[in-house]
Amino acid sequence: MEVLYRCCCGLDVHAKTVVACLNKNGVKTTRTFSTMTDDLLLMSDWLVKEGCTDVAIESTGVYWRAVFNLLESQMEVILVNARHVKAVPGRKTDVKDSEWLSDLLRYGLLKASFILPFEIRELRELTRYRQTLVKEQASVSNRVQRIIESGNIKLGQVA
């Protein structure tokens, strides 16, 4: 099989840790980082220093987002559906998962999930937050009106 990426990394992301397996010319180096910003920045610096050009992240929950947002401006990052990667039995540890991801990426065997551009992701988040605020405002307004009417004040019919 033809090697597509000489220096790539597989990341197995969890709530508290990120296991990174750097695959540089077939030599694997594995490190574990916490998901705190300082450690994620250390991981990013390590990958850049080693010359890593491509990273594969397994998509589990929402934990991948912070890592993706941090790395996307520095290297090519692909998000991989966990169902597509877990097809091989016997991989039970985080280290083996990250190694497997780096191997699959090295040979170009991973299919990237579609991720919207940063500007659209940010706009979506703001739009959803605004929608939540509008719903909360309507809920509070209705609650105040119910309380006033329970005190036999017909403010809504007068105003």
Question: What pLDDT digit, counting tens, does each position of 109-135 carry?
Answer: 888 888 888 899 899 999 999 999 999
When pLDDT is averaged across residues 1-27 and rounded to a whole number, the result is: 90
* Residue 28 vs residue 89, higher pLDDT: 28
Query: pTM of the entire structure?
Result: 0.75
Quote the pLDDT of residue 90: 63
Cα 61 to Cα 7: distance, rounded to the nearest angstrom: 27
DSSP letter string over 12-50?
Answer: EE-SSEEEEEEEETTEEEEEEEESSHHHHHHHHHHHHHH
pLDDT the model gives residue 26 = 87
> Does residue 149 carry a pLDDT above 60?
yes
Q: Is a pLDDT exceeding 90 seen at residue 91?
A: no
Q: What angle do CA 106, 42, 15 make, to 5 degrees?
A: 80
Q: Residues 75-94: what's their mean pLDDT?
A: 76
CATH topology of domain 7-106: Nucleotidyltransferase; domain 5 (3.30.420)
Query: Contact at 8 Å (CB) between 108 and 102?
Result: no
Domain boundaries, the chain: 7-106, 118-158
Question: Which of 105, 108, 112 has the alpha carbon at shortest distance from 8?
Answer: 105
pLDDT tens readout for residues 31-57: 999 999 999 999 999 999 999 999 999
Quick one: tokens of 43?
């991981």
According to the model, what pLDDT value does residue 50 have?
A: 94
